[in-house]
Chain A
Amino acid sequence: MEFAELIKTPRVDGVVLRRPFLPTVEGTLCLTGHHLILSSRQDNTEELWLLHANIDAIEKRFVGSLGTIIVKCKDLRVIQLDIPGMEECLNIASSIEVLSTLDSVSLMYPLFYRPMFQVIEDGWKSFLPEDAFKDLESMTEEWRLSDVNKDYSVCSSYPPLVAVPKDVDDDTLRKAAAFRHGGRFPVLSYYHKKNGMVMMRSGQPLTGTNGRRCKEDEKLINATLRAGKRGYIIDTRTVSVAQQAKARGGGFESEANYPQWRRIHKAIERSSILQESLIKLVEACNDQSHSMDRWLSKLEASNWQTHVKEILTTACLAAQCIDREGASVLVHGTEGTDSTLQVTSLAQIILDPACRTIQGFQALVEREWLQAGHPFQQRCSQSAYSNSKPRCEAPVFLLFLDCVWQILRQFPCSFQFSQHFLVLLFEHTYASQFGTFMGNSASERSKLNLSQKTVSLWSWVNRPQEVERLSNPLYEANCLVIWPSVAPQSLLLWEGVFLRWKRSSRCLDEAYDEMVHIIQYNKELQNKVNNLRRQLGAGEQED
């Protein structure tokens, strides 16, 4: 097999592993096709099993014949390996470099991984569009499921089935698709049961400099409006960015052609800027200099929290239009695969209690990110440490998770899951044994036949023990719309991701366990009281 050629030195003894919060271990380092393994060959000692795909960058250092490799992971952890022997060290380093940057999809670990657990429910089948549509059908008859994209020819980044207004035929959809960036014609993203308003998403309209229009596109989105009602178009770009897009054939909906719609521009940054922001933030977090001023100015310069605030604010605005204004909303940016999805998915977290459950959140990620064509593979092929020039990498999904965490912090009892779930998703988008986040769209995943060849992350997550681990003990179903505060004072740095390797979370974990214990004990006591009372009641009746 090909991997063997890439591994010059498969094994080195006497390697010392240093990593955050854990004692130093000495053992044997092994390289396999997909893993870097360190074993001390003693019972009960921690071993390192690191996916090559998780390695973002490495650094080499030499002191005499002792080499040191610093491994920087995509989950932001940094570990150090001290390797005796210069040649071994160089060999290992070059192998890691190659193995961690393999571009060939066919060599990716999920295609080789065989689950060590029993798959109870196949995650690939857990969230089918047909099932989601059944829920919609139970609420409204105004929508239909169209298979106009069944061979991915109308829009390569859309799934085969999309929900569209009932009165609009497939031919209209095809024409509208030709007028939208990437063929992403407006489709249903969310139906607000409370007032029947909807949220749609699409790519930008291709108006170009001469103001091209498309009657079918107008018809399509107007079909979602009630008689005499106006809708809102939320453009995630500033007016000037949207204007500039015209020169490249893009553009925005003009008032003249879309008189029933009011356009609102917001400013969510494009992916290259977000990636730079992540790199700066992580650098600030890893800066060991002890000056407060330096930390705060670096944190400020990273702009990360500004992005969080912008995204949350835009999502709140969309939710507000729907819930408070009673208006339907169309969201788009340029491609409609990044900031658009951040907004539509967060708005649903705010509006729809179902999205705050473990299953519901998976369905949301599946629907609004995976099926909606967010290019995970491109966005997550590098993280914050990589030295290679970024291509399409961007922490778009990580920012979404950060925003969800902010809402979770503000409504700690309204989510069925804890932050562990969000951290887990962050890890698996960057490196995983599961096939869920492979590829860039539904069509790529289907070409690779991932549902047959790989295991779904959801198959793992939905086992009872994992659900238990990810659950929020404080959860109490809350059927209301939850409006987060977006004041800078209310937004926090997500320690669980960005400071995770800076300080052991033991203290916090133990306090958390104590809280869980109090809650469980309460349930036990309640049961006991009920039992006793029943016994007593029975006794009384006998008397």
Chain B
Amino acid sequence: MEHIRTPKVEQVRLLDRFSNKSASGTLHLTATHLIFVESNADAAQEIWILHHHIGSVEKLSLTTSGCPLVIQCRNFRVVHFVVQRERDCHDIYSSLLRLLRPVSYEELYAFSYNPKQNEQQREEGWQLIDLGAEFERMGVPCDQWQLTDVNRNYKICETYPRDLYVPITASKPIIVGSSKFRSKGRFPVLTYFYQEKKAAVCRCSQPLSGFSARCLEDESMLQAISKANHNSRFVYVMDTRPKLNAMANRAAGKGYENEDNYSNIRFQFVGIENIHVMRTSLQKLLEVVGTRSLSVNDYLLGLESSGWLRHVKAVLDAAIFLTKAVTVEGASVLVHCSDGWDRTAQVCSLGALLMDPYYRTINGFMVLIEKDWISFGHKFADRCDQLDGDPKEVSPVFTQFLECVWQLTEQFPQAFEFNEWLLLQIHEHVHSCQYGNFLANNQRQREELQLKDRTHSLWAFLLSEGQNYLNPAFCHTYAETHPVLEPSTLPCHLKFWRNMYHQFDRSMHPRQSVLKNVLTLKESNRQLEDTIMKLEAVTLSPSHPLSLALLKEAQHQEEVGEEAKKCCSDTERTVEGSSGSERKESYGDLQGTYGAKVEPAVVSLEFGVARMTC
């Protein structure tokens, strides 16, 4: 690649961000990755960083030991290198600056990534999720809701998908009229149908009402949504913004629905802050938790002043409000914010997750993301900074959604088929640009880029290693006993998500993982059941020609199993043994120097995501 000036620099030191530990090794720069290989021969640690993951590179001023280079990644990895020669450091720095600012989609990794699949497998990957089938599963089309083809050519709204579901009584003129009265043409459409009460969750953007404008078609549209539900005389309109923001929008000719103009609506603000507030909030949080030798009080005060958990609570509270309106009152709800692609996506998808157990399965969760986020045009390219764009458009809205889901999995350990690793892995790949799913801002752009023909689907990859993402405590009957989840949003029940924001700071994690342990046991149970079946077959008919072979095979399996177990526990041990040296300094006050030898750090199986997939 023409941008790479120095493909390899030796004798680079990698500093740990929370201790005085360091490792030395070689830095490689490839077309897609920045790779650090530790030179310690026995247990060479390798760190692979995808260029797309790099959020920022900073060259600090020269020190006696060399030139420091600090790299902050979007998956919350922070690495601190010290390069001996300033020229090498500068070369890497300027190469990275160019590499991490791709100007066109074609430069993204997804277009060159080739996981050794044939064309058919690739195509099948893209067919895994069928949103038409998903609406059928919800019971749509039905006597009240139908598929409309008004947006077949993205004429009415270019950020919506082609296939949209609207009330039967909403005629084409009503739709067109309503879309003209809504910001970016995002008129009210169905996103979830609660069959039990025939209540609908619809989404849209803010009305262009200004201080007094009204639109009869838009009013008819809401009327149609209301009429489609016989269980309730009114429809809730949830404006997910703080009231003040919504009012300010009126000056720009936008705003919110006037209850007097719309018959049978109940209007409600829920007060989730905008993307800029969220961006600043997370930045602040990361700054706090990235501080060295942080005190407990500074940590808690930092958590508070960042406001992050307050925002998480606000999003969850909104989803709970939506869920209650639909499942308890049986009312339909129309959700919007400003453009209807950030807060609206969060609230609609979390609400659906609370209402419908299907979305708590691995497949269902993928469908949910595909529907409420990808197809309805959450601007992944802008929000995740895929191309060199406006930094003001970047915001961790989707990360926040994943965190809300994580908070729920913590409260309902049996309700979800998937575990935390799936959330972390999805987060990883939303930023990796390795798969086509999250590229660009909306379906129309994706079609223009022909992503389905030129890239691979993340969902296929995740499903291929689905056993890693299973929640061992998942209970299939839980869905029947608890179809609707009622989470607590008491502040004391919301926690800091260490495994996300300190994903790569291994020293902060528990040294032994219950999840990993139980998953291994569950897998072992499956194999043992299999072995038992085979052995029983042989015992029943000893003359079975395969008996001897099977016996041997079984024995072999057993041995392998035991070896694996031994090996596994060995690594566990290393982890524990090594941790002391990692934290040598952190207990403080002890200045003596102990043996300077750094014990091998262990590459994690759980979170070494980049390595597993490239």
Q: A residues touching B (Cβ–Cβ < 8 Å)? A: 264, 266, 284-285, 288, 290-297, 299-300, 303, 305-306, 308-309, 313, 316-317, 320-321, 323-325, 409-414, 474, 476, 478, 480-483, 485-493, 499, 502-503, 507-508, 510-511, 514-515, 518-519, 521-522, 525-526, 528-529, 532-533, 535-537, 539-540, 543
B290-324 Cβ-contact flags toward A at 8 Å (1 or 0): 00001111111101100101100100000000000
* Extra contacts besides A503-B490, A539-B542 (10): CB < 8 Å: A264-B590, A296-B303, A300-B297, A413-B517, A474-B514, A483-B583, A487-B18, A488-B295, A514-B473, A519-B521
A478 touches B411 (CB 8 A): no
Given known pairs A290-B491, A300-B301, A486-B586, the reply for A325 and B592 (CB within 8 Å) is yes
Interchain CA distance A264-B313 in the complex, whole Å: 43
CA distance A127 to B345 in the complex (A): 61
Q: For residue B594, which residue of chain A has the nearest CB?
A: A324
A288 to B490, CA, bound (A): 8
Q: B539 and A535: CB pair below 8 A? A: yes
Check A518/B491 contact, CB under 8 A, given A300-B297, A532-B535: no
Task: Select the residue from A284, A317, A525, A539 with max chain B CB neighbours within 10 A.
Answer: A525
B296 touching A306 by the CB < 8 A rule? Answer: yes
B583 pairs with A485, CB closer than 8 A:
yes
Chain A contacts for B18, CB-based, 8 A: 487
State whether B514 touches A518 (Cβ < 8 A): no
Say whether, besides A295-B492, A317-B588, A488 and B299 are in contact (CB < 8 Å). yes
Q: How far is the CA of A410 from the CA of B576 in the complex (A)?
A: 10
- Whether the pair A493, B492 counts as a contact (CB closer than 8 A) is yes
- In the complex, how many angstroms separate the beta carbon of A195 from the nearest chain B beta carbon? 13
Identify the stretch in B185-193, B456-464, B548-556 within 8 Å (CB) of chain A at 4 or more residues: B548-556
What are 11 contact pairs spanning A and B, CB under 8 A?
Answer: A290-B490, A293-B304, A296-B300, A320-B580, A488-B299, A491-B296, A511-B414, A522-B524, A532-B535, A535-B539, A536-B539
Given A489-B508, A536-B538: A522 and B411 within 8 A (CB)? Answer: no
Give the contacting residue for B472; candidates A491, A518, A526, A540; CB below 8 A: A518
Which of the candidate stretches B136-144, B269-277, B430-438, B493-501 sits at the interface with the other chain?
Answer: B493-501
B66 within 8 A of A: no
A79 to B594, CA, bound (A): 55
Given contacts A320-B587, A489-B289, A522-B528, contact A295 B491 (CB under 8 A): yes
Whether B304 pairs with A529 at a CB distance below 8 angstroms is no
Q: Which residues of A have CB within 8 Å of B525?
A: 518, 521-522, 525
State the Cβ distance, A268 to closest chain B Cβ, in Å: 13
Q: Is the CB of A292 within 8 A of B576?
A: no
Knowing A320-B587, A536-B547, say if A510 contacts B475 (CB, 8 Å): yes
Q: Which of A290, A488, A502 contacts B294 (CB 8 A)?
A: A488
How far does the alpha carbon of A476 sit from the alpha carbon of B508 in the complex, in Å?
Answer: 22
Interfacial chain A residues near B509, Cβ < 8 Å: 485, 490
On whether the beta carbons of B414 and A414 are closer than 8 Å, the reply is no
The answer to whether B546 has its CB under 8 Å from any CB of chain A is no
Determine the chain A residues whose CB is within 8 A of the CB of B502 once the complex forms: 489
Q: Smallest distance from the beta carbon of A419 to chain B beta carbons, Å?
A: 12
Complex CA gap A532/B547 in Å reads 12
Give every chain B residue within 8 A of A309 (Cβ-Cβ).
295-296
Q: Which residues of B contact A412 (CB under 8 A)?
A: 510, 512-514, 517
Contact B532 A285 (CB under 8 A): no
Return chain B residues, CB-CB under 8 Å to A291: 310, 491
Q: Is the CB of A292 within 8 A of B309?
A: yes
Assess whether A411 is in contact with B576, with CB atoms less than 8 Å apart. Answer: yes
Cα A325 to Cα B475 in complex, Å, equals 49
Q: Is B233 an interface residue (CB 8 A)?
A: no
Residue numbers in B under 8 Å from A409 (CB-CB): 510
Q: Give the complex CA separation of A528 and B558 in angstroms.
A: 13
CB distance from B354 to the nearest CB of A (A): 15
Contact A305 B296 (CB under 8 A): yes
Contact in complex: B589, A483 (CB < 8 Å): no
Whether A482 lies near B492 (C-beta < 8 A) is: no
Q: Given that A292-B304, A503-B488, A507-B412 are known contacts, is A515 also in contact with B472, CB under 8 Å in the complex?
A: yes
Residues from chain A with Cβ under 8 Å of B413 in the complex? 507-508, 510-511
Do residues B539 and A532 form an inter-chain contact, with CB atoms below 8 A?
Answer: yes
CB distance from A450 to the nearest CB of B (A): 38
- A533 CB contacts on chain B under 8 angstroms: 535, 551, 554-555, 558
Interface assignment of B119: CB less than 8 Å from any CB of chain A = no
* Interface presence of B611 (CB below 8 A): no
- Contact status A529-B514, CB under 8 Å: no
A526, B513: Cα distance in complex, Å: 22
For the complex, give the distance between the alpha carbons of A64 and B579 in Å.
Answer: 64
Q: How far is the CA of A324 from the CA of B581 in the complex (A)?
A: 9
Cβ–Cβ contact B590 & A478, under 8 A = no
Q: Does B489 contact A (CB under 8 A)?
A: yes
Q: Are A487 and B586 in contact (CB-based, < 8 A)?
A: yes
B589 pairs with A325, CB closer than 8 A: no
Asked if A518 and B488 make an inter-chain contact with CB atoms under 8 angstroms apart, the answer reads: no
Supposing A411-B576, A514-B473, A529-B532 touch, asked if A487 and B507 sit within 8 A by C-beta, the answer is yes
**A306 vs chain B, min Cβ distance (A):** 4
Q: Which residue of A lies closest to B586 (CB)?
A: A486
Is the CB–CB distance between B521 and A518 below 8 Å?
yes
Cα A311 to Cα B472 in complex, Å, equals: 35
In the complex formed, the residue of B with least CB distance to A309 is B296
- Chain A residues closer than 8 Å to B580, beta-carbon distance: 320, 323-324, 481, 483
In the bound complex, what is the Cα–Cα distance between A126 and B522 (angstroms)? 38
Q: How far is the CB of B483 from chain A (nearest CB, A)?
A: 15
The answer on a CB contact under 8 Å between B510 and A525 is no
Q: Which of B411, B494, B498, B529 contacts A489 (CB 8 A)?
A: B498
Q: Is B531 an interface residue (CB 8 A)?
A: yes
Question: Which of chain A's residues have a CB closer than 8 A to the CB of B496?
Answer: 489
- Interchain CB contact under 8 A, A476 and B569: yes
Decide if B304 touches A300 in the complex (CB within 8 Å): yes
Docked complex Cα distance between A481 and B529 (Å): 36
Query: Top 8 A-B pairs ranked by shortest CB distance?
Result: A295-B491, A511-B413, A488-B299, A300-B300, A296-B304, A525-B528, A511-B473, A292-B310
Q: Does B536 contact A (CB under 8 A)?
A: yes
Contacts A474-B514, A503-B493 given; does A529 touch B508 at CB 8 Å? no
CA distance A316 to B590 in the complex (A): 11
Distance between Cα atoms of A296 and B301 in the complex (Å): 7
> Cβ of B511 < 8 Å from any Cβ of A?
yes
The CA of A526 and the CA of B531, in the complex, are separated in Å by 10
Question: Which residues 2-55 of B have a CB within 8 angstroms of A?
Answer: 18
CB-CB < 8 A to A313: which residues of B?
587-588
Does A518 contact B542, Cβ atoms closer than 8 Å? no
* B577 is an interface residue with CB less than 8 A from chain A: yes
Would A537 and B594 count as touching, CB distance under 8 A? no
- Are A482 and B472 interface neighbours, CB within 8 A? no
B614 sits at the interface (CB 8 A):
no
Whether B131 is near chain A, meaning CB under 8 Å from some CB there, is no
A489 touches B299 (CB 8 A): yes
**Is B128 an interface position by the 8 A CB rule?**
no
Who on chain A is nearest to B482 by CB?
A507
Residues on the A chain within 8 Å of B172, using CB: none
Q: How far is the CA of A502 from the CA of B573 in the complex (A)?
A: 37
Query: Do A525 and B492 contact each other (CB < 8 Å), given the known contacts A292-B304, A533-B554?
Result: no
Query: Which of B299, B522, B532, B590 sits near A532, CB closer than 8 Å?
Result: B532
Contacts of A493 in B (CB 8 A): 492
Q: Mark B54-78, 1 if CB is under 8 A from A, else 0.
A: 0000000000000000000000000
Closest to B291 in A: A488
- With the chains together, A482 CA to B510 CA distance in Å? 11
| Residues of A with C-beta under 8 A to B588 | 313, 317
Whole-angstrom distance from the CB of A224 to the nearest CB of chain B? 19
Within the complex, the shortest CB–CB distance from B169 to chain A, in Å, comes to 40
**Bound complex: CA A87 to CA B428 (Å):** 66
Q: Enumerate B550-577 residues with CB–CB distance to A below 8 Å.
A: 551, 554-555, 558, 569, 572-573, 576-577
Cβ contacts under 8 Å, A536 to chain B? 535, 538-539, 547, 551
CB-based nearest A residue for B413:
A511
Is there contact, CB below 8 Å, between A474 and B528? no
